[in-house]
Every structure is written in C-alpha cells, then in structure tokens.
Amino acid sequence: MNETASSSEIQGQIAALRRQSFTLLLALIIVSGTLTVFLYRQASLTRRDIASVKPQATQIIQAYTQNGQNIQNFVKELSAFGATHPDFQPILKKYGIAPAAAPAAPAPARKK
C-alpha cells in the first residue's frame, strides 16, 4: 500500500471491492439459474422424444429377436456357400462374415 493513501481512499477501495464482489455474485446466480432452466428444459424435451420413439424401437427390437435365428441360419448358409465357392469369399470378407472351414481332405497314406 501507498503510505500517502488516506484512510478515506482505502475505505473507498474497500467499498468498491464489496460492490464488485456483490455484482459478480449476483451475475453468478443469474448465470447458474439460467443454465439450470436450460438443462431442465432439455431434459424434459429429451424425455418427450424418448417417449415418442420408444414404441417404434420396441417394434424393431421384437422383429429382430423374432427373426434372429433366421438371420443366423442365413449367415451360416452364406459361409458354407463361401467355403465351397472361392469366388464368393471376397464378398463375405467385405461384409465381415468368416467363411466356414472347408472339409479337410483325408491325409495321404504313408508308404512303408
């Protein structure tokens, strides 16, 4: 501190700091309240969106579970087809389907 500063100047600076801290606190409360209202509104809109999409999603999930076994059988048939037809293997690899292992050829007999 400057020794030449008078007591009234220091009191003025302290009062200015109090006003500034009060103003900042008030601004913080307003910003916090605004953010809280915004997040509450977003949460309620999201709840409504989920409620409107849920029946459609449930139908899709049920259709998938009902047809899941048919899809697995179809993929098995495709991989079996790919095992016997080498030209089809690049298509299987493109879609991430591993071809079934080709039946192993019998080992040749040893000569004694």
- Which three-class secondary structure string do you get for 60-112? HHHHHHHHHHHHHHHHHHHHHHHHHCHHHHHHHHHCCCCCCCCCCCCCCCCCC
The pLDDT, as a whole number, for residue 5 is: 67
pLDDT averages per 10-residue partition of the chain, 112 residues: 74 96 98 98 97 94 89 90 87 83 55 60
pLDDT of residue 97: 85
Specify the pLDDT at position 42: 98
Would you kindly state where each structural domain of the chain is located, as residue ranges? 9-94
From residue 92, alpha-carbon distances to 47, 80, 88 in Å are: 41, 11, 7
pLDDT of residue 111: 63
**What's the predicted TM-score (pTM) here?**
0.49
Can you give the pLDDT at residue 109?
57
